[in-house]
A and B are shown apart, each in its own frame.
Chain A
Amino acid sequence: MIEIKNIRKKFGKLTALDNVSVSFKRGECIALLGPNGSGKTTLIKSLLGMVVPDSGTIHFDHELITGKWRYRSRLGYMPQIGRYPENMTIAQVLDMMKDIRKKEHQQYDEDLVKSFGLNNLMQKKMRTLSGGTTQKVSASLAFLFKPDVLILDEPTAGLDPLSSELLKQKIIKEKQAGKLILITSHVLSELDDLVTEVFYMQEGKLAFHKKLAVLREETGEHKLSKAIAKLMRVQEV
């Protein structure tokens, strides 16, 4: 579904993405892992067209995305730090997004809005919200338009345990519905029952891209965190 070929991106002297090639298929739930500053967010932003790569190509359903915008109606993006116009209320932000992304016969997926209890906060201004509540708004927006691909950048950071469990259940539900899901997270224990593939980046390069089952078999560990730790130790030696 998504084909990334040889993309490179430099920010000044810093190389954020160094010749990364990868393809993601429908129905998979992929964990994008790697240390801070390894280029995960840059990769996601390149997919979304927010960052323009210096070279290389990205295809979405066999279509080159450079300069295109319509494909984004099939993406749902939850940013690491959601930033919204400060003077708007939650209701206004949701209405605005609905207005912008309006399609014919569009049905909205408001499961998360309901389960997070955002209905009671609708008249609050974005400026007054806590980090966690802002994350809830971001998550609700990502799922609202029933996109084919969900891109979640640190989805559970800042969420309380109850909400992050709700979000996890929602992700599992969407995965079973055959959607492609990309997640970055540093909380590996959370990803155990979610992901089917692991994509590990280091210093802007692809370190490995494996099925979770294969990874478990190779390392003999069941827990994702231990498996990754083991693999990293082997690589360092």
Chain B
Amino acid sequence: MKKIFKYVLVDIVQNKIVLIYTLLLLVISLSVFNLENNASKGLLSLLNIILIIVPLICIIFSTIYIYNSAEFIELLVSQPLKRRTIWLSIFSGLSGSLCLAFFLGAGIPILLYHADPTGIIMILMGLSLTVVFVSIAMMAAGLTRDKAKGIGVSILLWLYFSLIFDALLLFLLFQFQDYPLEKIMVFVSFFNPIDLSRIQILLKMDISALMGYTGAIFREFFGNTTGIALSFAGLCAWIFFPLLTSLKKFKSKDL
């Protein structure tokens, strides 16, 4: 397991896109913190940028990487290796290197400008969001054979989680405003990892006005600590479910 992980990690770290991604995050976070004279405000602006950029880069880069390593995977499958080992090594290589990129690009500036529990939660959130979207990319790439289709599915999934989901939620709220939907809304927010991460940070930051509808209910329901713990559990589920689905598929795949 370690050996293949090492080869995947070295391969990705050398990739120019990952380097550019790290620099992009670094430029964004440094400029956001320097533009705002209040570090908390800076953190909030950074949050909104991270919630868009991290999922997008992670899901698309990972999907393309998996398709491009088709040869490598084929070579490994004919060797005395478990398929499970191969797939999990690729997953850990991808998440490891993208997490490293996130930590260098956004984590270090956050620690420099805002090294308190909120900042640390934000870094943890960014890292788990990275792993979640690598996992979703593994699923998208594992389930579709065609490269163009797989990348299309990835882009659609990203679009769904970052835009369409919220729009649908608002639409439903508007349509059924006469009914008590609070409980359902809390439940529904578990279906979107980006929503979960946002709630998590905002619960910690305690800015009710910016918390959005689900965030406010979340706090009402669980209080701050339980809310954060629960949303972390939700994110973990988002890591394991797509990964295990794709692993099951890969085990019986014809190469």
B69 interface contact, C-beta 8 A: yes
Please provide the chain B residues from 202 to 250 with a CB less than 8 Å away from any CB of chain A in the complex.
Answer: none
**Known A83-B71, A100-B79: A50·B11 in contact at CB below 8 Å:** no
Contact (Cβ within 8 A) A99 B80? no
**Known A85-B71, A87-B11: A48·B3 in contact at CB below 8 Å:** no
Please provide the chain B residues from 1 to 37 with a CB less than 8 Å away from any CB of chain A in the complex.
Answer: 3-4, 7, 11, 14
B78 to nearest A CB, angstroms? Answer: 5
A115 interface contact, C-beta 8 A: no
Contact (Cβ within 8 A) B74 A72? no
Contact (Cβ within 8 A) B255 A50? yes
Q: How large is the interface on A (under 10, 10 to 19, 20 to 34, 35 or more residues)?
A: 20 to 34
A70 interface contact, C-beta 8 A: yes
Contact (Cβ within 8 A) A72 B80? yes
A48: chain B residues at CB < 8 Å are 77-78
A27 interface contact, C-beta 8 A: no
B4 to nearest A CB, angstroms? Answer: 7
Contact (Cβ within 8 A) A100 B254? no
**Known A50-B255, A52-B252, A96-B7: A70·B74 in contact at CB below 8 Å:** no
Contact (Cβ within 8 A) B71 A84? yes
Once bound together, how far apart are the Cα atoms of A96 and B76, in whole Å?
A: 10
Select from chain B the residue with minimum beta-carbon distance to A42. Answer: B254
B82 interface contact, C-beta 8 A: yes
**Known A69-B80, A69-B82, A70-B80: A83·B75 in contact at CB below 8 Å:** yes
B191 interface contact, C-beta 8 A: no
B14 to nearest A CB, angstroms? Answer: 8
Query: Beyond the given A49-B78, A79-B74, A101-B80, could you list 8 further A-B residue pairs with CB under 8 A, ordered by the A residue number?
Result: A45-B254, A48-B78, A50-B77, A52-B252, A83-B70, A84-B72, A85-B11, A100-B79
The list of the 5 closest CB pairs from A to B, nearest first, reads A83-B71, A73-B80, A72-B80, A51-B254, A50-B255
